[in-house]
Amino acid sequence: MLVEAPTPQPWAASHAALPAVDDADDQGCTLYYSARDAQNRAHIARAHVVADGGELRVASHEPEPVLAPGPLGAFDDCGVTMACLVQDGARKLLYYTGWTLAQTVPFHFFVGLAASDDGGRTFERVSPAPVLGRSATDPYLTASPWVLRDDGTWRMWYVSGVGWHEAGGTLRHRYHVRCAESDDGIAWRTDGRAAVEFADADEYAMGRPYVVREDAAYRMWFCARGDAYHLAYAESADGRTWERRDDDLRIEGTAAPWESEMQAYPVLARVGGRRHLLYNGNGYGRSGIGYATEAAS
């Protein structure tokens, strides 16, 4: 286990969810994640991780959140959850999901953006509104973006809602992964087509995609949910049309107690000369953040 929840901060009463990594090298990395306060509102937290003898461990947690919930009535006043970081010249861009509690359904999600011009020490929202919100092509929700600078174009893979329905006496969301493009990383274009579709009739939700471009292929790690979230994987030649290849992603060994019920929100990081898959287990991050290390070749 890399990060056990709750962590020491007074505003982090539970959870350590949706890990994302910055400034990774042979010595360690900066780890961003989402923690919840006593009112169940998510804040974006930051910890400093060191590589120690082939293992990863947290050296320190920062005492203040990187980003807190927005002002009353804003799209993110009920919580902010981590998505990804992008380096844009000297500027760092932090994409996140803003939460709003709702009346007819449990919640609404929106894609927000905060920027840092001081090397990541502080972040400020670029707008009081979402950079990708509900529209004719995304009428229900947008969330969990992963963004790349790709041959001069900004590309985003994000979660989009396709509706709500009743299931077993509760309201159940349905969302899959779509893609969008931008000239500046702020104003986004999307045509509403699915990038990654449900694998079968029982699947109804997908979690934050993590995308890399390697050689001529795009590779995506994410999580998908039927009864519970499990880790999933897809590949694409163009970043638009994806082939599910979940069986290509394997974590060997018996699941530990912290991940015995679910696995979610994977992200890869090369730290200490090895690649590590960081991910959440039970309770959408209530049990903390663990990792698996790529086998030596």
CA distance 270 to 157: 22
pLDDT band for 53, please (50, 70, 90 cuts). confident
Q: Is residue 283 part of a domain?
A: yes
Q: Is residue 261 part of a domain?
A: yes
Q: Is residue 280 part of a domain?
A: yes
How many separate domains does the chain show? Answer: 1
Residue 295, pLDDT above cutoff 90 = no
Q: Is residue 79 part of a domain?
A: yes
For residue 153, the enclosing domain spans 14-293
Are 114 and 44 in contact, with CB atoms under 8 Å apart?
A: no
Q: Is residue 2 part of a domain?
A: no
Q: What is the mean pLDDT of residues 156-179?
A: 95
pLDDT 10s digits, 103-120: 999 999 999 999 999 999
Cα pseudo-dihedral 103, 105, 106, 111, rounded to 10: -100
CATH of the domain at 35: 2.115.10.20
User: Which residues fall within 8 angstroms of residue 206, CB to CB, at 6 or more apart?
Assistant: 159, 175, 176, 177, 196, 222, 223, 224, 225, 232
Residue 297, pLDDT above cutoff 70 = no
Q: Is residue 66 part of a domain?
A: yes
CA distance 191 to 183: 16
Q: Say whether pTM exceeds 0.75.
A: yes
pLDDT band for 215, please (50, 70, 90 cuts). confident
Q: Is residue 5 part of a domain?
A: no
* pLDDT confidence of residue 134: 97
pLDDT 10s digits, 27-41: 999 999 999 999 999
* pLDDT confidence of residue 145: 98
| DSSP helix/strand/coil, 193 | coil
What the block records as the tokens of 189 is 């274009």
pLDDT band for 74, please (50, 70, 90 cuts). very high
Residue 161, pLDDT above cutoff 90 = yes
Q: Is residue 6 part of a domain?
A: no
